[in-house]
Every structure is written in C-alpha cells, then in structure tokens.
C-alpha cells in the first residue's frame, strides 16, 4: 500500500526548521502591519554535536550523554528516562526477536556464500532487521519513502518533547519489528523528529555498532553517487559509516525513493544505479504486498534478476515468480491468510507448498504482520550455473 511520496532533497546545508505556530504568528503580524520578535529557531542539519558522530549517535540512542555537554535539569532527567526506557525496550526486542533471528540465521543460512551487498527495498528506517539478517555484508542499501531528515545541531534542542517523540516513532518497530509507513508519514509532517536519520542512528547504535560518519549523498542523473552538497541529485540519500571490532568500517546507504514503476521511469539515473549494483542478498518484509501488483513489476524483476539470495515473508514477491529451475526454495513457519488490510493477496500456491512439505521447518519468532506461530519466511537461493 503506497501511502506517500518522498519529500524534498536533503543537501549538506539543510534549511532550518521553523515552528509552524511561529510562522503563522509572523504572517499574522505582517498582515496587520505590526512588528514581532522572531521566534527561536531549531537548527536541524546532517551534522553532529561538537563535531563528534560517535558521541552524537550514542546520545540519540540513549547510551551515553554527550561528553562535556551540560544539560539543564529537565533535559538531563528526560534523557535519563529515555535512556532507561530505551534500554528496557531494546532488551525485550533482543530477547523476543533479534536473538531468535540470530539463532535462526545460524541454523538456516550457514551455507550461504559471503555477502558483499545487502539490499532492503521497502525498508524505511529499519536498519535493525537488515543488520540482524545479514550481519556480515560489506555494504547495506536501504530504500524507503520517508525523507532522510536531520538532527538538531544544538544540544538545547534535544528537549524532553524530542525524546518523547523519538520513542513514540520507534515504538512500532520495538513492538512489532517493522515501521508503519502511514505513521511515519504523519509523524514526520507534524513532529520535531525529522526524517529517518535519528531513527537509523538509534537502531544502528543500539545494535552494537559505532557510528563513524554521516554524510548526505544522492544519485545523479548519470547513475553515480554524488555528494549531497553538489547540485540537486535525482534521488536524495544519506551514507552512514559504522564499525565494530570484527568487521571494521562498513557503510549503510539510505535512499528516499518511491519504487512504483511510473516513479522509477522518471529517474533513469537511479534505475541505472540499482541495475548496476553487484549481485545482492535481499530482504523483503512487511512490504504491504506491493510487488503483487503490476505497477511494482520493475523492482520485482530487478530483485529476481540480480539477487543471489532473497529472504522474504509472504508480503514480498509472490511465490509463483520464483522459477524453481533457477531457485532453491525453503519454507519456514506456517502460511496464514493475510490480515484483513491485505485480504486480497492470499496465495493459494504458497499455502499448498507449505502444506505439502515433507519436513516442516519451524519459525520461533513473529515476523511481518503475523504473530508467532502464524508467521512465515521464504528463503530463495539462486542455483549456481
């Protein structure tokens, strides 16, 4: 279900964000021919506090306060409360979901070849799932409708309201393992947490990685990556460099992009870039059954033509599109009819395949739109020629 389009391009010199009420008051004053003092501005940019991305990400994730930063009492209390609640939320998510994904991956993907590029279309801000399913990839590419956004550049702007809103925006992925696109769109239009960037910083830092650098980027009309500070790119994005002792530095790239056929046709450079990616491993989950529709055939065909491995729930590519002379298919969990919102996308052939298995392979975690015991995963591995 395509709910909204990606807003304007993010560039290095991101425009300040002004409060809507302040703008309305200023306009009213000008209309009346009076003068008014300018309202305080919240500066929002793709820049870290004190020039330190590692410390800024840890702060946003509720892991550590900013070194040398002095917070007023109310801010300090709100950050401390946010830190405690976020730690509890994350422990619960790890116990209920992430640790089980890790164990499942160790059992089920042990023979999967090395992963260079991990691709997550329809992923939105959800860095946690991509890192959980493909922890050893060298590059990560995520696509979502939501804008890149920015973070406050002044410590004073990390208010109690900011942290309360950040937790609200994260609540669906912590509770359900996925972001609701409709909620994301509404929150980004109305709130102070701007775009996916703060959410991705939280999730990558909480996943145990150190954020080394963040830079606005874009895809040019020629299909190459350009700096966000250059002329307006065809597709806006952000590159997040992160590291851990085992893998060293790696990069996760997020692009704000509508994957509908008609939208991609307007962006030939972006389509060229995607088609020239090295053969990726691909994750598709909680994807609103979009690739069941004819007007998402371009991204569906691209995934099928390029991927060496696809892990998806039934909301991804329909089962019938996997040519079983080219793909080895494994089915995990059980097939249940789609939830009411997506009731038209039942797959009788997939249901029959699940029921006809000689050996059932369980799934001890909930994924997608279903609870534990009703969830499924399809693992498609391209056969070597």
How do the domains of the chain map onto residue ranges? 20-278, 309-385
- CB-side neighbour CA atoms (13 Å) of 346: 9
Note down pLDDT in tens along the chain; length 385 residues: 333 333 322 222 222 222 222 333 333 333 344 343 444 456 899 999 999 999 999 999 999 988 776 788 889 999 999 999 999 999 999 999 999 999 999 999 887 766 799 999 999 999 999 999 999 999 999 999 999 999 999 999 999 999 999 998 888 766 555 445 444 444 455 568 999 999 999 999 999 999 999 999 999 999 999 998 767 899 999 999 999 999 999 999 999 999 999 999 999 999 999 999 999 999 999 999 999 999 999 999 999 999 999 999 999 999 999 999 999 999 999 999 999 999 999 999 999 999 999 888 999 999 989 888 999 999 999 998 7
Spatial separation of the C-alpha atoms in residues 125 and 187, rounded to whole Å: 13
Alpha carbon distance, N-terminus to C-terminus of the chain: 36
Partner residues linked to 253 by β-bridges: 141, 239
pLDDT digits (tens, 9 = 90+) for 132-174: 999 999 999 999 999 999 999 999 999 999 999 999 888 876 6
DSSP 97: I
Torsion of CA 202, 204, 208, 213, to 10 degrees: -100
Q: What is the pTM of this model?
A: 0.86
Helix residue ranges, H only, the chain: 20-31, 53-60, 73-93, 99-108, 127-133, 160-176, 181-190, 197-206, 261-265, 268-275, 297-306, 348-355
Spatial separation of the C-alpha atoms in residues 356 and 376, rounded to whole Å: 15
pLDDT digits (tens, 9 = 90+) for 166-225: 998 888 766 555 445 444 444 455 568 999 999 999 999 999 999 999 999 999 999 999
DSSP 17: B
């Amino acid at each position: 279900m395509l709910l909204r389009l990606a807003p304007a391009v993010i560039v290095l010199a991101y425009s300040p964000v002004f409060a809507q009420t302040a703008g309305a008051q200023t306009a009213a004053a000008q209309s009346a021919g009076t003068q008014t003092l300018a309202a305080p501005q919240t500066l929002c940019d793709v820049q870290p506090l004190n020039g330190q991305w590692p410390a800024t990400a840890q702060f946003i994730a509720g892991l550590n306060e900013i070194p040398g930063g002095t917070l007023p009492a109310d801010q300090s209390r709100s950050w401390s409360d946010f830190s405690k609640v976020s730690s509890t939320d994350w422990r619960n998510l790890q116990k209920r979901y992430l640790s089980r994904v890790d164990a499942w991956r160790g059992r089920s993907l042990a023979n999967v070849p090395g992963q260079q590029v991990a691709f997550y279309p329809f992923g939105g801000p959800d860095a946690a799932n991509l890192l959980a399913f493909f922890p050893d990839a060298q590059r990560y590419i995520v696509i979502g409708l939501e804008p890149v956004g920015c973070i406050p550049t002044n410590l004073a702007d990390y208010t109690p309201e900011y942290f309360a809103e950040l937790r609200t925006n994260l609540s669906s992925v912590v509770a359900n393992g996925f972001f609701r696109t409709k909620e994301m769109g509404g929150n980004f239009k109305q709130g102070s947490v701007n775009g996916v960037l703060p959410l991705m910083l939280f999730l990558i830092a909480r996943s145990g990685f150190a954020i080394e650098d963040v830079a606005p980027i874009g895809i040019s009309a020629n299909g190459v990556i350009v700096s966000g500070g250059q002329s307006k790119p065809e597709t806006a994005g952000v590159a997040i460099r992160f590291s851990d002792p085992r893998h060293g530095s790696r990069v996760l790239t997020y692009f704000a992009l509508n994957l509908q056929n008609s939208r991609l046709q307007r962006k030939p450079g972006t389509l060229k870039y995607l088609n020239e990616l090295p053969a990726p491993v691909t994750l598709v989950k909680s994807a609103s059954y979009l690739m069941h529709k004819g007007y998402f055939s371009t991204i569906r065909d691209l995934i099928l033509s390029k991927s060496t491995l696809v892990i998806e729930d039934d909301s991804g590519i329909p089962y019938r599109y996997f040519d079983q002379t080219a793909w080895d298919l494994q089915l995990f969990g059980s097939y249940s009819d789609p939830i009411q919102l997506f009731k038209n996308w039942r797959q009788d052939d997939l249901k029959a395949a699940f029921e006809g298995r000689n050996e059932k392979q369980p799934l001890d975690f909930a994924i997608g739109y279903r609870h534990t015991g009703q969830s499924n995963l399809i693992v498609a591995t391209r056969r070597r020629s």
